[in-house]
Amino acid sequence: MRGRYAPSPSGPLHIGNALAALMAWLQVRQAGGTFVLRMEDIDTARCRPEFAAGIMEDLRWLGLDWDEGPDIGGPHSPYTQNERLALYGQALQRLDARGSLYPCYCSRHDLLAAAAAPHGLASEGPAYPGTCRGLSPAEAEARAKRKTPSLRFRTHDRELTLRDGIAGTRRVNAAAGGDFVVRRADGIFSYQLAVVVDDALMGITHVLRGADLLDSTPRQLLLYEALGWTPPAFAHIPLLLDPDGRRLAKRHGGITLAELREAGVSPAGVAGWLAWAGGLLPEPQPLLPAELVGRFALAAIPAANITVTAEMLEKLRAAR
């Protein structure tokens, strides 16, 4: 087994991030596999090196280690997306050679105008109506003189099966979300492309990550298929929500590990609370990640998102 945790260094590590990291680590350590840390910093406008350093510090404080990563290297270096851009370009060339891509000249205004179109994937925005899919070479050449295009992946109307270790089996229309962008007009590669290339070339066999990425998984499966690669086994863990149903995140309601550390909460207290919230323990108790390895069970993790109540937070802040 080769598993990974791949955070975006766009802010400090909060408890929702830590839950995903802990569960991914426990899955790999229980199987005696290799755990990889990768920084997904392709969003240069939001990602910062200091956030990446802080994330690694927080993970170590919590008691998590990794066998390959940005700081220690490994056989699949580099482990930072911004150093892997040439690999994404090579993947685009392969997709283009098989006719899977086409240039899209739609402006932001055009895309907003399409927002009333049916949503195929809940968290992936409105389905692209295919405006530029059928452009003739002459039309595309004329538009290219006025605007640099993005590149979209051609989807096709057929059933796609997603087997998830927690959410179960889902069947979706591969074209439900419309043709999706794999390289933006500004030259930035999409998350969908980068994560597929990275996981495939790093030999990742198991991906355990947050349920917010479940809806984007069908698009990744299409890319795996088009590139001739075998996808990993997926499992999407529930999100931590506030009482209003909003996801705890860096920019909303996220309690960071740094804040808990400064408040005197112990690493064992945090890990034990996360294991309880994630279904591995009947009650929160101070246990370090190494002590939780034998308690990990994918079947114990709930599929439904977890509402973090004030009482739950009191138990977390009181953990010593």
Buried b (16+ CB within 10 A) or exposed e, 112-122: eebeeeeebbe
Q: Note the pTM of the prediction, 2 decimals.
A: 0.91
Give mean pLDDT, residues 200-221. 96
Among the three residues 163, 192, 221, which one is the final residue of a domain in this structure?
192
pLDDT at residue 212, rounded to an integer: 92
Residues 75 and 105 grouped into a single domain: no
In a domain, 13, yes or no: yes
CATH code (residue 124): 3.90.800.10
Tokens of 145: 């003189």
Give residue 90's identity as a one-letter amino acid code.
Q
Radius of gyration of the chain (CA): 21
Residues 28 and 117 grouped into a single domain: no
In a domain, 312, yes or no: yes
Tokens of 286: 């101070």
Residues 147 and 165 grouped into a single domain: yes
In a domain, 198, yes or no: no
Give the mean pLDDT of the chain.
91
Among the three residues 162, 192, 222, which one is the final residue of a domain in this structure?
192
Residue 320's pLDDT band, with cuts at 50, 70 and 90, is: confident
In a domain, 213, yes or no: no
Among the three residues 136, 165, 192, which one is the final residue of a domain in this structure?
192
Residues 69 and 23 grouped into a single domain: yes
Among the listed residues 222, 112, 106, 209, the one whose alpha carbon sits nearest the alpha carbon of residue 161: 222
pLDDT at residue 130, rounded to an integer: 85
**Model confidence pLDDT, tens digit, residues 172-209:** 999 888 999 999 999 999 999 999 999 999 999 999 99
The answer to whether 88 touches 95, Cβ cutoff 8 Å, is no
Catalytic residue among 145, 147, 250, 315: 250
Whether 245 has a pLDDT exceeding 90, the answer reads no
Residues 102 and 123 grouped into a single domain: yes
Residues 185 and 97 grouped into a single domain: yes
pLDDT at residue 96, rounded to an integer: 96
Domain of 98 in residue numbering reads as 85-192
Catalytic residue status for 147: no
Give mean pLDDT, residues 293-304. 96
Q: Tally the domains of the chain.
A: 2
**Model confidence pLDDT, tens digit, residues 4-46:** 999 999 889 999 999 999 999 999 999 999 999 999 998 888 8
CA distance 121 to 108: 20
First-last CA distance in the chain: 33
The answer to whether 141 touches 191, Cβ cutoff 8 Å, is no
Residues 156 and 247 grouped into a single domain: no
CATH code (residue 276): 3.40.50.620
CA distance 59 to 71: 13
In a domain, 203, yes or no: no
Residues 90 and 188 grouped into a single domain: yes
In a domain, 201, yes or no: no
pLDDT at residue 211, rounded to an integer: 94
Residues 98 and 182 grouped into a single domain: yes
Residues 99 and 161 grouped into a single domain: yes
**Model confidence pLDDT, tens digit, residues 135-161:** 888 888 888 888 999 999 999 999 999
In a domain, 105, yes or no: yes
In a domain, 175, yes or no: yes
Three-class DSSP labels, the chain = CEEEECCCCCCCCEHHHHHHHHHHHHHHHHHCCEEEECECCCCCCCCCHHHHHHHHHHHHHHCCCCCEECCCECCCCCCEHHHCHHHHHHHHHHHHHCCCEEEECCCHHHHHHHHHCCCCCCCCCCCCCCCCCCCCHHHHHHHHCCCCCEEEECCCCCEEEEEECCCEEEEEECCCCCCEEEECCCCCECHHHHHHHHHHHCCCCEEEEEHHHCCCHHHHHHHHHHHCCCCCEEEEECCEECCCCCECECCEECCEHHHHHHCCCCHHHHHHHHHHHCCCCCCCCCCCHHHHHHHCCHHHCCCCCEECCHHHHHHHHCCC
**Model confidence pLDDT, tens digit, residues 87-144:** 999 999 999 999 999 999 987 665 554 443 333 344 556 678 888 998 888 888 888 8
Residues 129 and 61 grouped into a single domain: no
- Tally of CB atoms within 10 A around 246: 11
Phi, psi of 240, rounded to the nearest 5 degrees: -90, 125
